[in-house]
Each structure stands twice: as structure tokens, then as C-alpha cells.
Amino acid sequence: MPYGEAFRKHRKFVHSTITKRAITTFQPVQTKNARALALNLLENKNRHEMFFNMFATSVITGILYGHQVVSEDDEYMKLMDHQSMIAVNLGQPGGALLDILPFLQYLPAWFPGTGPAIRAREWRPMFRRVYDYPYEQVEKKMAEGVAGDSILARVLAKFSTRNSVPEEEIEYVKLATGAMYRAAVETTWSTIAVLFMTMILYPECQKRAQEEIDRVIGSERLPEFEDKDSLPYTTALVHEVLRWHPVIPLAIPHRSVQDDVYKGMFIPKGTTILANVMGMALDEKTYKNPSVFNPSRFLPKPNGDDEPLFGSAFGFGRRICPGRHFALNSLWILTATILATLDLSAGRDENGNLAPPPLEFNHTVSRQGCSFFIVKPTDGLLFD
């Protein structure tokens, strides 16, 4: 969306709903879903990708729409599967000839280079559904008196006190909540996959975090958000997951709003710009041995290296991810819960040897990496 009045209205809406103070009210939803993921992994060891997806989807639909995902057949899961399909098939922003020559969208289908425009028109109804369906469902549940508390339900409650609501206002609420929904699911899913991969590849880090959790919390209860300040290594581990392999390695594409020059290179107005987030994460001037997964780098001296947290994983400037604090909370409670309840280790090959997962990713705007692993309950802890 170009910078302007509509952009400011969308950002204002999002910022007002997920402020640092407001996100504390979402913690019960995040905690509930983290525990559900751990339990699902215990009972269904070979379906981790689907359960990652369920967690990522259910957390955001819970706070946005008051909807709890309980199965892979859930309509909200299907919506995001469709979005992922569209993203994969349309390719990287700025990567199609249509992005360079927009007039191609008006040419007949037989003309070379018009394929992306044709697919965009075909998939538009599917794309719109991620904005329209949740709004319609919350509106319906509110009319029936069965809607749970959610961001959208609160907005609709305010709408109901007015004589009329302009269609333009309804549209921007749909787009703003839908954008939050779309942005949260795939990035969260991908980050969970990286978390599990690192715990398998770096078992010493997993063990150290588990020892911290056992020492602080014990085995009589599960982690809560109130434990966060007492678990500095676990928190540092979360930040290192975000730095070690950023799930959006080239950031969300930006566009230059005016002619510019950078280090002698002329950048025309309207240029699509991809920021090298991965390069920043592996900058040797900032991080010691950056390719190594090392949560201690973020701990204060003398127990750590006191290196700066990697904030670029959430973007930059006025387009920085407004949900970053919510996302960090989701990842933290998930990490603490998984490490308190499960041991993660590599699977075995046909010869019975441990076979750590390869560092391979599928690239769209974000990248999806998945690992295979064995889970088992840690000693002395049962689920209610």
C-alpha cells in the first residue's frame, strides 16, 4: 500500500489494537495454544508441520476473531493454505516482468509476459476471501449472541452504536485485520520450524535452556509469562532463533518514493528494494561467529557477549511489523513450553544412525524450513 492517508489509517488501527499494554490480554490464548501444540506433538509425532500450522493459525485467529482452531479441516487453515499457494505461484515481489512493465496487465492472454496478471485475476476471489470470510463470521456470531471476545468483535460492537458505518470504513477494518492474519501465520509457522531445527542441531543449547527452566520452575507446573524475567537464557534463545536464520531473509519489499543515490548507485523513484536481512544477521562486525547458533551472545557480561538484539527480523522504519511484540510473546511461551515438556532430537536413517535435518528452505517472501524429529516427554511432568 503506498504511503498516504489510507496507509496511516491502517497502521493506526493495527497499532491501537496490539500495543505493548494490550497484548497482555492475549497471553491466555497464546499459552493455551502453546500447550496444545506440545500435547499434539506428544500424541502425533509424525505430523509436526500440520501442528505448527495449527498453532500459528489459532493464536492469531483467537485474538483477531475469537476463533479456536481444533482440526486441520478448519476453514481458517484452508484460507491460509490458499494464500500460501498464491504466494508460491506468483513468486517474489518485483520478480515478474509484470512488475517492471505494468501495462502488460491490459494485454490479451496470448501476449508473452501476461501470465502473472492472468493468474492474479483468477485468484482474486480466493485472495479476497481471507478478508471477507472472517468479518462475515464474526458479524454472524455477534448477531446470534455467541461471539467470543476478539479485536474484530470489539470493533463491530462500536459500529453497532452508530446509525450507519461507511462502506469505506468497513473495508479498511477488513483489510487491516486480514493483513494481520496473513502476516502472522506463515512467519510464525516458519519461525517454529527454525526453532525445532536449532534445538536438534544444537542439543547443548536445548539442554542449557531446559536446565534453566527446571531450576526456576521445577516440574510441578508449566511455564507462564510471569516467569520470563527469571529465564534469561531461554529468552536469549528466542532472540537467537530470529537472528540465526531470519524467516524473511530479504525483508518485505519496499519501494523508493523519490530518486536517490546510495554509495554512488542511482536508485530511481518507484524502484522495488529488497533489504538483505540475512546479511545483517550474519554481519561479523556486529556478531561474533555469526553463523553459529549461540544464545549467550545476547546475555550481559560476564555470562555472555552482550551483543545487540537483532531487531531487523521485523522490518524497518514506518513499515516495521506492528505485531512484533505479540509475535515475540507467542514465540517465547511456545519455546518455554516445548522445552519444559519435550526433548527434541534427530530422527534415524535406514541404518539406525542419527540423521540431523538438512538446512534447506523453500523460498517465497518468507521461507519455510522443516525438520524431522523425535519428541518424548521430559521427566516428571504431566499434562492436565
Q: Which residues are annotated as a binding site for heme?
A: 321
Q: Rounded to 5 degrees, what angle do the CA atoms 367, 235, 318 make?
A: 55
Task: Pick out the residues of the known binding site.
Answer: 321
Q: Rounded to 5 degrees, what angle do the CA atoms 222, 226, 228 make?
A: 85
**What percentage of the chain's residues is helix, strand, coil (to nearest 5)?**
55, 5, 35
Q: Which residues of 275-297 are buried (b: 16+ CB within 10 A; e: fewer)?
A: bebbebbbeeeebeebeebbbbb
Mind spelling out the 3-state secondary structure of 211-275? HHHHHHCCCCCCCCHHHHHHCHHHHHHHHHHHHHCCCCCCCCCEECCCCEEECCEEECCCCEECC
* CA–CA distance, 225 with 377 (Å, rounded to integer): 21
- Closest alpha carbon to 74 in 55, 99, 48, 102: 55
Element (H, E) at 78: helix 75-90
CA dihedral 243, 246, 249, 253 (to 10 degrees): -100
- CB contact set of 98 (below 8 Å; sequence gap of 6+): 104, 105, 113, 114, 116, 117
Instruction: Tell me the sheet residues that pair with 362.
Output: 368
* CA–CA distance, 257 with 193 (Å, rounded to integer): 35
Number of Cα atoms under 13 Å in the Cβ half of residue 76: 29
Instruction: List, in sequence order, every beta strand (DSSP E) within 31-102.
Output: none
295 touches 332 (CB < 8 A): no
The three-class DSSP label of residue 157 is helix
